[in-house]
């Protein structure tokens, strides 16, 4: 039996490039609303930091980063409480995330106990920030 969740991607709902647009998980189609760029905070010249690259996951352990949408506006993933949306970059911690090596999750820099989560234990298309309770491996 094939697991259909492996053919899904984080997606900006309806490919609408607008402020506060919902983030979800949908069938992978490689559209610009499913393209993301990791921007490490320590790559900004004014804040040099170091972080070890995890070769398995391709992310630096514990190093803050933004996740930039592939849509024309280049908005970042943000979270309003638990709801995940895209918003114009605003330098708030709700737009900062880091790779938690212990749980193998992308966690909130603002709320250290929260990580990316698919609503209803993966049986939904909606994404949220939720208590880190397991990994994605």
User: DSSP letters of 56-111?
Assistant: TTTEEBT--EEEEESSTT-PEEEEETTEEEEE-----GGG-EEEETTTTEEEESSS
Which CATH architecture best describes the domain 4-129?
Answer: Trefoil (2.80)
pTM: 0.65
CB 135 within 8 A of CB 107: no
Angle of CA points 48, 53, 58, to nearest 5°: 120
Express each pLDDT in 16-53 by its tens digit: 898 889 888 999 998 999 999 888 877 644 333 347 77
- The domain spans of the chain are 4-129
pLDDT confidence of residue 30: 85
Token reading at 120: 């209803």
User: Per residue in 90-107, pLDDT tens?
Assistant: 989 999 999 888 788 899
Tokens representing 60?
A: 């630096």
């Amino acid at each position: 039996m094939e697991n259909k969740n492996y053919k899904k991607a984080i997606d900006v709902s309806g490919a609408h490039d607008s402020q506060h647009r919902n983030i979800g998980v949908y069938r992978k189609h490689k559209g610009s609303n499913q393209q993301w760029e990791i921007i490490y905070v320590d790559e900004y010249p004014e804040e040099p930091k170091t972080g070890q690259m995890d070769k398995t996951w391709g992310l630096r352990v514990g190093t803050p980063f933004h996740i930039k949408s592939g849509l024309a506006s280049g908005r970042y993933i943000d979270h309003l409480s638990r709801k995940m949306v895209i918003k114009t970059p605003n330098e708030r911690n709700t737009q900062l995330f880091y790779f938690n090596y212990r749980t193998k999750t992308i966690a909130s820099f603002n709320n250290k106990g929260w990580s990316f989560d698919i609503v209803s234990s993966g049986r939904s298309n909606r994404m949220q920030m939720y208590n880190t309770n397991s990994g994605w491996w």
